[in-house]
Amino acid sequence: MITRFHLIRHGPTHAKCMVGWSDLPADLSNTAALARLSEHLPREAVVISSDLIRARATADAIQGDRLRLAPCPSLREIHFGAWELRTWREIDAEAPEHIRAFWETPGEVAPPEGESWNTLMARVSARFDQLAQDYAGQDVVVVGHFGQILCQIQRAGGLSPTEAFAQKIDNLSLSRIDHGPEGWRLGMINEIL
């Protein structure tokens, strides 16, 4: 029995800084793209999103008459801690080795008061495992974030964190992973409809 996960990145925030747990709204003015996404998704799918407004509002826009699950804090973006809403340039001027290690060797390195890639992976993977169990054999639409999507692509594809970081995940893009008796399997990445 295969459970199909349709991963959608929220609409753009237009922020030019690190946005993790900050609750910035999404620009959902591209109604044609939202309609194409909604039309493409399986009618019988269940829809879940992170609890951040940019993901919730995007899920609202594509839900249609699909069953909606409660927004989930464990599906949030990575927590950037003290780096939240700051630019790479600002942080690089203060802590160049730290920010480079965070992006270039993802794993245990975390921003001050934030979380590491491995912490994000554990948090999000636990929720995906529960969804795979609760909705076995069904379609699940997960509206979320760049890091949340990438960590599941990493897991499903057997990629290293560095290989996962090399993937592009556009706003309002669709990626797909599946879960079955043999475990996780990678489908498509970053399809724009």
Give the pLDDT of residue 72.
98
91 CB neighbour count, 10 Å cutoff: 21
Q: Contact, 125 vs 155, CB < 8 A?
A: yes
Cα-based torsion angle of the residue sequence 12, 18, 20, 23 in order, rounded to the nearest 10 degrees = -60
Q: How many CA atoms lie within 13 A of 144 on its CB side?
A: 32
pLDDT for residue 165:
86
Full pLDDT tens readout for the chain, 193 residues: 999 999 999 999 999 999 999 999 999 999 999 999 999 999 999 999 999 999 999 999 999 999 999 999 999 999 999 999 999 999 999 999 999 999 988 899 999 999 999 999 999 999 999 999 999 999 999 999 999 999 999 999 999 998 998 899 999 999 999 999 999 999 999 999 9
Q: Which helix (H) or strand (E) holds 122?
A: helix 117-134
Would you state the structure tokens that stand for residue 98, as one six-digit string? 């730290």
In this structure, whether the domain defined by 3-186 belongs to CATH 1.10.3470.10 is answered with: no
